[in-house]
Amino acid sequence: MTAPERVVPPEGDDFYVPPVPLPPGEYGDVIRSRPLTGVAALRSASHNELVLYRSEAVDGTPIAVSGIVALPPTPVPDGGYPLIGWAHGTLGLGDKCAPSRDNEEIAAELPEHHEINQSPHVLLNALLEAGWAVAMTDYEGMGTPGPHPFLLGRSEAHGVLDLARAARRLYPVISDRFALVGHSQGGQGALFAAHHADRIPEFTLLGVAALAPASHIVEDLIAGSDYDGYTGGLAFTPLLLTGAIIGSRAEATEERPAIDALEVLSTEAYTLFTAADDRCRVELSACEAWGGIKGNAQFRGSLTQDPNPHQREFLRQVEHTNPALSIPVPIRVSHAQRDERVKIAYSTRLVAELGELGNDVLYRIHARVADGGSLGAHFGLIETDVPELLAWLRDLERAKH
């Protein structure tokens, strides 16, 4: 009997194009993988693997999602390496924006985007050096075909949890003990993944850490809709609307039809929106994009005064992204006091909401954080939080080992 011929995965960006139809299987199955090098890889890993794996869209359709699995440089402990499911922050809508696609060309074209992509590496490398394996999803529709359902918690949860399963199937040295960690959008996504952790019942979830998690986003959306000025922060409007449209299509009924962007946005904003699906967040913030439209010129009429049915559904979908959820494991929320991107007041309210639901929540406010440079305290938090976060995770892992 001869050994089956090994299928060589496609090179370049063709790797991200899944076979049609997808091979039969279940979420978490590995479709293909190949070693990863370059700036997207974690330098402290003994090995980085680029993975295309089977997952599930918000409407239940089988899809392929991409991500990275990184193995620690430390000896394999008894029971295997504990795993971190990492959820990344806001990067945009385009496939080129995905963390696993970061490269020297992107760094030259979009240096701020590249800097944002690299900012969590200080934490992820520290986790590897502490003996954790790391699984980093790109999320649905980032890197792979299809739109990205920005801040739709169920989609983010699928991406994170299905890669945890794929990682262990690729590398049996990874144990069934895992924790979830995320920053910004990913902080919100990590909380949703913890809420849905029974999706992979063969794993034992130890805890979830949310660094400056996105929450109460609908309030920023409403405030921006009344703003009589220009700001790059309006880049979040196309991100939120893309996610809301996808969410509304999955839940559409005769009484509540899917959102039509033409009914939500002004003519000027709709023109910008049609060009948003292949852009990174930093591009959407530019003056020739959403940074060049006044906040109160984005929408048909007003979101706050007699919004139409499509606008009401938009607001409802965004409101449901708030990660105040029942979570059966310890939660750690951290925030920089001077964060100018995600308001600390929102995290304070979120922690109170999580507590009211009976969750076990630790809240850490950092009065000072590492210099985040032009990215500010929101990103400086990641480096500053490393020692305390590692200690918290170590205690959780030892308690369960």
- The answer to whether residue 341 sits within a structural domain is yes
- Please report whether residue 223 resides in a domain: no
Residue 401: its pLDDT value, please?
66
Total tally of structural domains belonging to the chain: 2
Residue 134, domain CATH: 3.40.50.1820
Same-domain check for residues 117 and 52: yes
Per-residue model confidence (pLDDT) at position 257: 87
Look at residue 381 and tell me if it is in a domain.
Answer: yes
pLDDT of residue 323: 99
- End-to-end Cα separation, the chain, in angstroms: 43
pLDDT single digits (tens) 355-379: 999 999 999 999 999 988 889 999 9
Range of the domain at 394: 12-215+322-400
| Together in a domain, 130 and 96 | yes
Low-confidence ranges of the chain (pLDDT < 70): 1-7, 401
Report pTM: 0.97
Which helix or strand (DSSP H or E) is residue 375 part of? none
Same domain, 190 and 284: no
pLDDT of amino acid 4? 41
Alpha-carbon distance of 311 to 300, in angstroms, equals: 9
Same domain, yes or no, for 271 and 363?
Answer: no
> Does 182 reside within a domain?
yes
Contact predicate 168/134, CB 8 Å: no
| 8 Å CB contact between 281 and 235 | yes
174 with 243, same domain? no
Domain boundary among 319, 353, 388: 319
Asked whether residue 302 falls in the same domain as residue 206, the answer is no
70 and 156 in a single domain? The answer is: yes
Tell me how far apart the alpha carbons of residues 150 and 140 are, in angstroms, rounded to a whole number.
Answer: 9
Same domain, 241 and 362: no
Specify whether 65 is located in the same domain as 158: yes
* Structure confidence by residue, pLDDT tens digits, 310-366: 999 999 999 999 999 999 999 999 999 999 999 999 999 999 999 999 999 999 999
Cβ neighbours for 212, distance < 8 A, ≥ 6 positions apart: 183, 184, 187, 334, 335, 336, 339, 341, 342, 347, 378, 381
19 CB-contact burial (10 Å; exposed 0-12 / middle 13-18 / buried 19+): exposed
Out of 271, 287, 319, pick the residue that ends a domain: 319
Q: Of the residues 281, 299, 319, which one is the last residue of a structural domain? A: 319
β-strands 331-336, 361-366 pairing: parallel
State residue 372's pLDDT score.
86
Residue 393 lies in a domain: yes
pLDDT at position 3 is 41
Whether 41 and 158 share a structural domain? yes
pLDDT confidence of residue 255: 82
